[in-house]
Every structure is written in C-alpha cells, then in structure tokens.
Amino acid sequence: MSYTSPELRRFVSERAGGCCEYCRLSQLDSFLPFEIDHIIAEKHRGATAEDNLCLSCPSCNGYKGSDIASIDPDTESLTALYNPRTQRWDEHFQLREYTIEPLTAIGRVTVLTLRMNSTEQMEERRLLVTQGRYPCGAVE
C-alpha cells in the first residue's frame, strides 16, 4: 500500500465532514477510527490522490476491500460500485427509516457488497436517528 500523508488524510476526512461516504455513519459515533478508502483500489491502479480517496467506516471499507464492481442481482450485469467522488449519494440510495435502500444498479451492488444493512448497523442507526445523529452530513 502506498503512503497517504497526514495532510492528505486530513483533507479527505474534512472534505467528508467526518462522515462515512458510503453508509453515512459519523466518525463521532464510531469507536474505531475511520479509514481512507481507495475508491479504485491500488491493485487496479487507483491513485493515492484526492479524487480517488474517500472517508469510510471500518465496516464499509472492510467489506469493500479491493472490489470495484459486482454482479447486479436484478440484471446479472457487471456493475461498478458507487463512487463518492463522481456520483451523488442521493441519486443511488435513499434512507427508509434505518435501511439504506438502493435506487439504481450501482446502489444495489454497493449495498450488497459493503453489507450496509446488517442487523448491527440497523440497530445502531435506529439509536442514532432518535438522537438526531444519523444520517451524517444530511443532504436536504
């Protein structure tokens, strides 16, 4: 893995407002530190540069690993994962109570691959919503 400077890490974290750019959990509500994700993994020649990095919670980043695409269950087509730098969250996902519902094929493969609706995450979101702490960086 290539070196990500402290300055670049800080830039990516601040740009994201401290929010996981996939599941929209806040760093403030995570015991584990958030990670700097290579949207296109380095093994696929993704650069360690601002436009290929995003802030991710350990759960989303762990399940994503070096994946960049998956098979859409509805169409059986190879479909790229959501790219927080070039796409808008609310065009591919919507929140229905505590579930992140996909709106597109990209949304579907991302929710499935990153396992964004695990029982634990849903329970955590339920608690955070009641405290007005979820979603992080709400898009109005």
Q: From CA 85, how far away is CA 20, in angstroms rounded?
A: 13
Site string for Zn ion, 47-86 (x = CB under 5 A): ----------x--x--------------------------
Considering Cα of 69, then 70, then 73, then 78, what sign does the dihedral take?
positive
* Residue placing its CB nearer to Zn ion in the complex, 20 or 128: 20
Q: How far is the CB of 37 from Zn ion (least distance, A)?
A: 9
Residue 134: count of CB within 10 angstroms of its CB: 21
* Residue placing its CB nearer to Zn ion in the complex, 79 or 110: 110
* Residue placing its CB nearer to Zn ion in the complex, 22 or 82: 22
Residue 22: count of CB within 10 angstroms of its CB: 27
Q: From CA 2, how far away is CA 118, in angstroms rounded?
A: 31
Footprint (CB under 5 A) of Zn ion, residues 4-23: 20, 22-23
Using CB under 5 A as the criterion, which residues of the chain lie in contact with Zn ion when the complex forms?
20, 22-23, 57, 60
